[in-house]
């Protein structure tokens, strides 16, 4: 049975997924709407990914605690106000890249928080439950967002709605009592575990590389064909 604190994490996972999947899956089509070429659409996928990676590396030493998750979520949300008023695809790429870099401050903090907050015996189960809530929220948002954008086009109101919903999503986090972890409670990775982690990381890198080759162009292919 989930505790009240765990339920707040589920609320956050659901709400952020709703905000992230309303417009984001169609951002390459939005770029096409603004007159983007295939090269620019590829940049729209590659540059933000690289910026997010750089941001996480830069912020990893200071990004500790839910306050950084909140800062990252708010900054990500506010960028949609500027994205709504973009007039050309190059500016769109620049804004999405800046958004990815700045909001990356929350990613290391969120991962570290989950490890420290969730008891080891509940870690696998709760992580799965959070993924379920995130998937459900993302599915609902994608369907509704796709229908509305297909019907009315890329209205500024849709981008503003994402910004508002993104900010609303932090409310459950504000009600969580964050506990501090003592150094004595942390565990170092054993050599065997470290090797497994490295192997998984390599597999994820290869998967992301393979998907990134054609993935950004898939929505464009569907629209044009």
pTM of the full structure: 0.82
Q: What's residue 189's pLDDT?
A: 47
Q: Which residue has the higher pLDDT, 221 or 108?
A: 108
The DSSP annotation for the chain comes to ---HHHHHHHHHHHHHHHHHHHSGGGHHHHHHHTT--HHHHHHHHHHHHHHHHHHHHHHTTT--SHHHHHHHHHHHHHHHHHHTT--SHHHHHHHHHHHHHHHTTHHHHHHHHHHHHS-HHHHHHHHHHHHHHHHHHHHHHHHHHHHHHHHH-S-HHHHHHHHHHHHHTTHHHHT--PPPPPGGG--PPPHHHHHHHHHHHHHHHHHHHHHHHHGGGHHHHHHH-
The hierarchical CATH code for the domain 4-178 is: 1.20.1250.20
Mean pLDDT of the chain: 85
Q: How far apart are CA 81 and CA 133, in angstroms?
A: 26
Confidence class for position 94, pLDDT limits 50, 70, 90: very high
% of residues, the chain, pLDDT over 70? 83
Q: Within the chain, what is the greatest distance between any pair of CA atoms?
A: 59
Phi and psi torsions of 200, nearest 5°: -65, -40
Rg (CA), the chain: 19
Confidence class for position 218, pLDDT limits 50, 70, 90: low
pLDDT of 122-152, one tens digit each?
A: 878 888 999 999 999 999 999 999 999 999 9
Q: How far apart are CA 208 and CA 194, in angstroms?
A: 21
């Amino acid at each position: 049975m989930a505790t009240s604190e765990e339920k707040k994490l589920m609320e956050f996972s659901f709400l952020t997924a709703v905000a992230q999947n309303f417009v984001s899956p169609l951002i390459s089509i939005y770029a096409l709407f603004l007159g983007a070429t295939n090269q620019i659409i590829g940049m729209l996928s590659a540059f933000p990914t690289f910026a997010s990676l750089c941001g996480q590396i830069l912020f990893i030493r200071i990004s500790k605690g839910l306050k950084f998750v909140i800062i990252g979520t708010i900054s990500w949300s506010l960028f949609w106000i500027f994205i709504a008023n973009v007039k050309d695809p190059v500016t769109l790429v620049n804004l999405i890249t800046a958004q990815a870099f700045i909001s990356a401050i929350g990613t290391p903090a969120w991962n570290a928080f989950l490890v420290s907050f969730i008891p080891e015996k509940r870690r696998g189960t709760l992580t799965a439950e959070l993924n379920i809530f995130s998937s459900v929220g993302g599915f609902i948002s994608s369907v509704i967002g796709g229908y509305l954008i297909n019907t009315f086009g890329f209205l500024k109101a849709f981008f503003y709605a994402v910004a508002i919903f993104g900010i609303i999503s932090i409310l459950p986090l504000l009600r969580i009592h964050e506990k501090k972890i003592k150094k004595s409670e942390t565990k170092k990775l054993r050599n065997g575990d470290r090797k497994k982690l490295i192997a998984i990381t390599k597999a994820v890198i290869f998967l992301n590389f393979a998907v990134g080759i054609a993935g950004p162009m898939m929505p464009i292919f569907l629209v044009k064909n």
